[in-house]
Amino acid sequence: MRNFLKQTFASLIGSLLGLLIFFGIGTTGVFLLLLTISFKDSSPQVKDKSVLVFDLSVNITDSDPKSSGFLQKALSGDDNERLSLHTVLETLEKARRDKRIVAIYLDGSHTSQASSSTGFATLKEVRQALEKCRAAGKRIIAYGLDWREREYYLSSIADTIVINPVGEMEVKGLSTQPMFLAGAFEKYGIGVQVVREGKFKGAVEPYVLTKLSPENREQTQKLLDDVWSQWRTTVGASRKIDPQQLQELTDNQALLSADQAKTEHLVDKVGYIDEVVADLKQLTDSKKEDKSFHQISLSDYAEVPGQSLGMEHTSKNHIAIVYAAGEIVDGQGSDEEVGGDRFAKIFRRLRADKNIKAIVLRINSPGGSATAAEVMQREVRLTREVKPVVVSMGDLAASGGYWIATNSNHIFAEPNTITGSIGVFGLLFNAQKLANNNGITWDAVKTGRYADTQTMSRPKSPQELALYQRSVDRIYNLFLNKVAQGRKIPSSRVAEIAQGRVWSGTAAKAIGLVDDIGGLDSAIAYAAKQANLGDNWELREYPQFGTFEERLFGTISQEVRISMGIDQVQNQDSNPLTAELQKLQQEIAILQKMNDPLGIYARLPFNLNIER
């Protein structure tokens, strides 16, 4: 039904645009009409004794999710609300200061229908902001039909947690299930040869193995243990439950009924949504005849001016936040990728801008092209010589994502950030068997022994593999030297902690890969201090995306292609089969993004997805 509505709406918009153009209405008139349709009051009203409603199904992204209201959502077909982390943190701080906001309602009633991609490191920053609100006297009430680890991690800070009588509490722990393609490659005759450095560099394993190597299993287990330990410690402290008791629940029960969850003190009440609404009406002094309590959504409240609360001010001194989110690729890259050339240009421009006094580089990337990472790292180093560059690691800042951080002034990570993975690899595919099985053969004429080393018509010879290995060794040693120089760690020590191994933020701080535990706000505050700005500064966010008109036409174009069956629509259904098919799509997408001109990559071991 959703796809039908999307296709119908796309066709309607296309027809409308055609009619408008046919009758002589220019582009300006079209957009005036569309903007009028989607116009929304930019200053929502906040009543006294209001509750800030935080929908836990929202996807919290690093950079601006480019939401443009009803029209943009209708065109994109994206039902899930998206807000940037900075917007969420700033909005919660505004609520902490606002006397009109008396409580925060964490609404978990829609989480079972949504698929949030928000990681635990991001949730930790949001959780800390909620803790500040609670310390300022704002009551926090949480309600859910089913509590899963991710949403409960955030909600465990609440004064009162309510679960529906038919609901369940999930305390199963964390897992990851990487997909291996080696068997399929062998079956269909696709050859894969690997060159790599680092015994933990498991990014190649999905293509050459059928299960995790012992080294990769070891590092993955340690990473999950660190993240899970942080979950148990944090939740346990808020709910006054011993972390070991939570582990016993995980190992022995995993799924708790509503009554069991209350018995184990994981929730405070078993009740229905109408009972929660009644309590919130009483808290906000709402009238009995009112349908609900005085409230404002997080997204609407984000649009409320904060000048009167000391939250917004103008200054000629700017701190730039540069969001490096997604796969690192050579060239410009898309909005969802970290294009080496595009980000290098951003840093050059910021370095020359006298109003930019400091830069916060927010990294949320598994890495990718080693060439692109080096291009960016060079610009970070040059910029650091002119003004402070502070790194804030999000959920993921590994391999190439760590490479670009090495020469910053200071690195912040959360305890459950995934980082490290200092190693490189190359994948060499060939289709000889596949082609030969279907009657296809090749021949070659060349003027040099290695003239056809790039071919996919045959496996590489031992001599050719040695050439590639030499390149990988060179890039790996370059990576090690970058880390040693940037982090001021002896080369021998870097060699020990590298090897492609993945670390949690807590472990990374212990071994010197990061400087401090903290989130985006901590990094911004540190940058302001390093630039001697005091409170006299304002933020600027980069990359700056295209205009609304460009996004609108691009989205309409995409929807028309989808309606014609040209593009594939990603199914958001959460059934297990679909989930596995989506994993396969993700693995193929990773291969498509591998565009390094040297064919060498610094990337996280496999497509790590922590499930709960």
Q: Beta strand pairing status for 389-398 and 356-365?
A: parallel
Alpha helices (runs of H) in 353-413, residue ranges in sequence order = 370-384, 400-403
Whether residue 130 contacts residue 96, with contact meaning beta carbons closer than 8 Å, is answered with: no
CA dihedral defined by 238, 241, 243, 246, rounded to 10 degrees? -110
CA–CA gap between residue 295 and residue 301 (Å, rounded): 10
Angle at 583 between CA 235 and CA 253, to 5 degrees: 35
Identity of the residue numbered 302: A
Nearest to 177 by CA among 150, 211, 146: 211
CA distance 444 to 429: 18
- Which segments of 219-308 are extended strands (E)? 255-257, 269-270, 295-297
Residues annotated catalytic, as ranges: 201, 399
Beta bridge partners of 456: none
Contact present, 283 and 290 (Cβ < 8 Å): no
Cα 421 to Cα 325: distance, rounded to the nearest angstrom: 17
Q: Which two tokens stand for residue 51?
A: 């509750």
Q: CA–CA separation, 220 vs 114, rounded Å? A: 27
d(CA 586, CA 488): 36
Gap between the Cα atoms of 270 and 119, Å rounded: 28
For 20, counting Cβ atoms within 10 Å of its Cβ (0-12 exposed, 13-18 middle, 19+ buried), the class is: middle
Contact status, residue 326 vs residue 365, Cβ threshold 8 Å: yes
Q: How many CB atoms lie within 10 A of CB 124?
A: 23
d(CA 570, CA 578) in angstroms, rounded, equals 10
Nearest to 33 by CA among 547, 549, 561, 556: 549
Length, in residues, of the chain: 612
- Run of H or E residues at 322: strand 318-325
The answer for residues whose C-beta is within 8 angstroms of residue 180's C-beta and 6 or more apart is 205, 206, 209, 210, 211
| Burial (0-12, 13-18, 19+ Cβ within 10 Å), 547 | exposed
